Amino acid sequence: MKITIVPHNIGEVREIRINNFLLILFILFLVVPFIDRYRRGKEFLSPAKLSENNEYLRKKLSDYQQKYRNLSTKCDNLLSYAKNYQSIVQIAPATSNDKSPVSIEELLVELDKSSGVLKEISLKLKEVPMLSCNTPSISPCEGYIIQTYGKTNCIFTGEQRFCQGIDFSAPEGSEVYATADGRVKFAGFRRHAGLIVKIDHGYGFLTKYSHLSVVKVYKGQIVKRGKIIGFVGTTGKTTGPKLHYEVWKGKETKNPLDFILTEVQYF
């Protein structure tokens, strides 16, 4: 094949000869991909191919729907477990919709909430060993209980009042023990309670020991459960040797008997 090039201006006319075989190869190189693409597109748009693709997509969609239902069920179970453990470790419940999540976005939100709750539960559970040491759990002395927690009549006036603790009758000089680990918050004299010791156990717990004859600890001292902190006496307003024992949780008194795991004797 011969191509003649004639310039517009004055110049030499040129001729280019191209091998016919190479020209055919060049044309095929350009045309064949378009033909193949057209053939593939025609096959893709054929009814049989479209039906096959639709069936494949329906199957994939069904699989995804089943996986989503399984994930949603696991999410509901996770939320249920989180709520149960929240009550055990005393964590305020997180706000959550009662209805099950209906979209991926809602599902992810609920999972994020559950993850946060479980993380907080994990931190709380790590505190359990320390909490058990700092929770009052033994009798503060060996003696007989002569006054229980709650409403009673004052032995001095006869008027009804609320007893914030319990009274133990024991020989003067009997040992008085710290009922849990903690730090001495106060050790000294009060007008009606006499010589007293207050121990801050952390986690909101505080115990108070009144009418002691001798105090064996000082303010700021770290004490362990079972440590002798003083001796039963008659200081303050009392009719005889006794120990008045109180348990506080936050700003409220609690029945000390609920925190004594050992056997107690009543007068």
Is there a contact between 140 and 245 (Cβ–Cβ < 8 Å)? yes
Is 137 among the domain residues?
no
Tally of domains within the chain: 3
Is 133 among the domain residues?
no
Is there a contact between 166 and 208 (Cβ–Cβ < 8 Å)? no
* Single-letter amino acid code for the residue at 80: S
pLDDT, position 229: 97
Element (H or E) spanning 3, and its range?
strand 2-5
CA distances from 62 to 52, 71, 78, 117, 122 (A): 15, 14, 24, 32, 37
pLDDT, position 112: 72
Is 139 among the domain residues?
no
Residues 190, 256 within the same domain: yes
pLDDT, position 209: 98
Residue 233 DSSP class:
B
pLDDT, position 88: 47
How many Å separate Cα 55 from the centre of its chain?
46
* Residue closest to 248 by CA, chosen among 209, 193, 222: 209
Can you read off the two tokens belonging to residue 44? 């893709």
CATH of the domain at 250: 2.70.70.10
Domain that holds residue 37: 2-44
The pTM of the full predicted model, rounded to 2 decimals, is 0.56
pLDDT, position 139: 94
Residues 72, 30 within the same domain: no
H helix and E strand count, the chain: 4, 15
Is 90 among the domain residues?
yes
Residues 40, 51 within the same domain: no
Is there a contact between 201 and 213 (Cβ–Cβ < 8 Å)? no
Residues 112, 177 within the same domain: no
Is 138 among the domain residues?
no
| CA-based torsion, 141, 143, 149, 155: positive or negative | negative
pLDDT, position 71: 74
Place of tokens 């079972």: 226
Show which of 97, 126, 155 is a domain's final residue.
126
Residues 110, 34 within the same domain: no
**Tens-digit pLDDT string for the chain (267 aa):** 555 656 666 666 666 666 666 666 666 666 666 666 666 655 555 676 677 778 888 888 888 778 777 777 777 766 666 665 555 455 555 555 555 555 667 766 777 776 676 677 666 666 666 778 898 999 999 999 998 998 887 776 778 888 899 999 999 999 999 999 999 999 999 988 999 999 999 989 999 999 999 999 999 999 999 999 999 999 998 889 999 999 999 999 999 998 898 777 876
